Amino acid sequence: MKIDILTLFPEFTDSMKTWSIISRGIESGLVEINSVNIRDFSANKHKKVDDYPYGGGPGMVMTPQPLYDALKGVNSQNKKTIYLSPMGKPLNQEKLMELSKEKELVLLCGHYEGIDQRIIDNYVDEEISIGDFILTGGELPAMVLIDGIVRLIPGVLNNEDSSVEESFSNGLLEHNQYTRPEDFMGHRVPEVLLSGNHKKIDEYKIESSIRNTLNKRPDLIDTDKLSKEELEVYKGLRSETNK
Ligand SMILES: C[S@@+](CC[C@H](N)C(=O)[O-])C[C@H]1O[C@@H](n2cnc3c(N)ncnc32)[C@H](O)[C@@H]1O
């Protein structure tokens, strides 16, 4: 997958190329990340990229010319183009899975009060938000998006850090995780995980996963999506908590 990031801070977005799993994806040729400085495309003699908003109001708005030329420079008309914006659809794991199947992506990072609406209306395919809060720029949201996408590209993660059993992958939060030592300051790992009994371990994982989802994110549970076994455990735990 090739990802072009259009930004005013290319050194910042480029820094993610050294992150462990991202750099592994780049080294194995599965991912290419290209940070493009929007300012390089400004036709203004002072390389200005912002101006006052029409109609008044606080702050500045990114002007359309440098954005248009930067988009043209990466051939965005033939690629899925995403503007990171607090007004976008909230990002979730399903969206990351969908995007991980794209061959090419263009990510547009705004600054100041945002970008001229005509760029969004005419040259952007989708707006994505990373949550209901305002950051100063689109770089961190773009990096969040890339981090989430790259680890889903087949071949980037090895078996040891596989994404198959993770939270959200089946509509549930993940089960509790433990590692060595068996006893830490008197707190023991659940005995079943040390038993070697794979059936019992699988049952523990299902129960822990459903318990976590019920306790922390009950809004995620869609009983139509649960397997027969998961549904049984879910009903048992529900009746337990209703007692
Ligand atoms: C200060 S924000 C602009 C906020 C805008 N004035 C508003 O009220 O919606 C500057 C830039 O940061 C990025 N940004 C800020 N918060 C974001 C979020 N939650 N998700 C995605 N991008 C965000 C966008 O690219 C935006 O253009």
Alpha carbon of 151 to ligand 1 centroid (Å): 25
What's the pLDDT at 160? 55
Residue 184: pLDDT band with limits 50, 70, 90: very high
Q: What is the pLDDT of residues 140-176, one digit of tens each?
A: 999 999 999 999 999 999 865 567 778 887 889 999 9
What's the pLDDT at 170? 80
Q: What is the pLDDT of residues 42-98, one digit of tens each?
A: 999 999 999 999 999 999 999 999 999 999 999 999 999 999 999 999 999 999 999
Q: Are residues 135 and 18 in the same domain?
A: yes
Can you read off the two tokens belonging to residue 129? 């938000």
Q: Measured between alpha carbons, how far is 234 from 232 in angstroms, rounded to an integer?
A: 5
Provide the residue range defining the domain that includes 228.
Answer: 183-242
Q: Are residues 152 and 210 in the same domain?
A: no
CA nearest ligand 1 atom 12, residue: 137
Q: How far is CA 37 from CA 66, 75, 193, in A?
A: 10, 15, 51
Can you read off the two tokens belonging to residue 101? 């199947």
Residue 117: pLDDT band with limits 50, 70, 90: very high
Average pLDDT rounded to a whole number, residues 4-22 = 97
The tally of domains found in the chain comes to 2
Q: Are residues 94 and 212 in the same domain?
A: no
Q: Considering the domain boundaries, does residue 175 fall inside one?
A: no
What's the pLDDT at 168? 87
Mutation to probe ligand 1, out of 113, 133, 134, 144 (largest number of atoms < 8 A from CB): 134
Average pLDDT rounded to a whole number, residues 121-141 = 98
Can you read off the two tokens belonging to residue 114? 């945002």
Alpha carbon of 133 to ligand 1 centroid (Å): 8
Q: Are residues 52 and 153 in the same domain?
A: yes
Pocket lining for ligand 1, CB < 6 angstroms: 84-87, 109-111, 113-115, 129-131, 133-138, 141
| Residues 112/63, Cβ–Cβ less than 8 Å | no
Average pLDDT rounded to a whole number, residues 100-125 = 98
Q: What is the pLDDT of residues 204-231, one digit of tens each?
A: 999 999 999 999 999 999 999 999 999 9
Q: Are residues 102 and 15 in the same domain?
A: yes
What's the pLDDT at 103? 98
- For residue 104, pLDDT over 80 is answered with yes
